[in-house]
Amino acid sequence: MNAEITRHVSTDNPRIMVVDGSALVRKLISKLLVADLPGVEVIACASGAEAKQALEEGVVDLVSTALLLPDMDGAELAKHVREHAAQAYIPVIVVSGDVQQRLVDRDLGSDITDYFDKSLGPQALATFIRGYVVPPDQVAGDVLYVEDSRVVALATRRMMEKQGLTVHHVVSVEDAMDKLRAAVDEGKVPGVDIVLTDVYLKGGLTGRDLLEKVREEFNYGKGLLPILVMTGDDNAANQTALIRAGANDLVSKPIEERILITKLCFQLRVAQHLRTSSTD
């Protein structure tokens, strides 16, 4: 096997697999990960075959793979990880240039944890990966949470607060808009880091209405204020409509805690990176 391994002393440190056909990309991402995660062990593989062999030689904490590899695609490798990995669950991140279209098409696949937009660059990817392997209490961000069910809100809020997120819960779109307008008046734009809303809400306005108002009235793009929509509707056309209306991603109901937190943290890290880059 020709997998390139950057080793550090402790075996308790995170082990990250980076799979990419480009030696330059592998070297750059490995360097950034070592800088961001002291003690990390990076297993850099040039092909799916190398990655499969490396997986047989030890557990890993996360797999990052290009969508297109010399001998297979990232989805095929993700499927292999799910079927053959020694541990119960490994996040598999597929790096692709058409993330938005895949979200629109709902073409994520159950074996892939998430797609990462490679146009954001290697540093953003390294920051994203870091978020998966650092202790949960290092996650930070303000969540505007819109949910009119007291029971659902209590359970979901606990999931988020357990991860170190600050949750601002409101029960209607009108209340959410009031909070965003107040932030503008105070000169705090957008005022929160991310919005999580149910699509079906009691009253006159729905989560779809909130999407349109945030994107059109405030002109907040997906990078400035990401929005996750929770829905129990598995109709592909309805899901696509939500993405086109401005949702960054969807979370299926009933809520699975691991998936909710993974998606929240992913969007938070990307948005925070974009904001930092725009002020540099």
Q: In terms of domains, do 110 and 142 share one?
A: no
Q: In the prediction, which pLDDT does 128 show?
A: 77
The mean pLDDT value for 191-218 works out to 93
Show which of 104, 133, 162 is a domain's final residue: 133
Q: Are residues 39 and 66 in the same domain?
A: yes
Instruction: Indicate which CATH number applies to the domain containing 154.
Output: 3.40.50.2300
The domain in which residue 83 lies consists of 4-133
- 218 in the same domain as 112: no
pLDDT of residue 100: 60
* Region for residue 9 given its phi and psi (left: phi exceeds 0; alpha: psi -120 to 50; beta: otherwise): alpha
- Rounded-to-integer distance, Cα 121 and Cα 123, Å: 6
Q: Of residues 41 and 102, which shows the higher confidence score? A: 41
**Residues 110 and 72 reside in one and the same domain:** yes
Query: Could you report the per-residue pLDDT of 30-64, keeping only the tens digit for each?
Result: 999 999 888 899 999 999 999 999 998 888 989 99
Specify the number of domains making up the chain: 2
The tens digit of pLDDT for each residue in 225-247 reads 999 999 988 787 888 788 888 89
Mean pLDDT, residues 175-202 taken together:
94
- The answer to whether residues 27 and 79 belong to one domain is yes
Q: Are residues 157 and 113 in the same domain?
A: no
Question: Reduced to 3 states, what is the DSSP secondary structure of residue 198?
Answer: strand
Q: For residue 105, what pLDDT is reported?
A: 57
Query: Is 128 buried (19+), middle (13-18) or exposed (0-12) by CB count in 10 A?
Result: buried
**Domain edge (last residue) among 133, 166, 190:** 133
Q: For residue 10, what pLDDT is reported?
A: 36
* 36 and 48 fall within a common domain: yes
Same domain, 88 and 146: no
Of 133, 165, 191, the position where a domain reaches its end is: 133
Lowest mean pLDDT across 14-28, 76-90, 173-187: 76-90
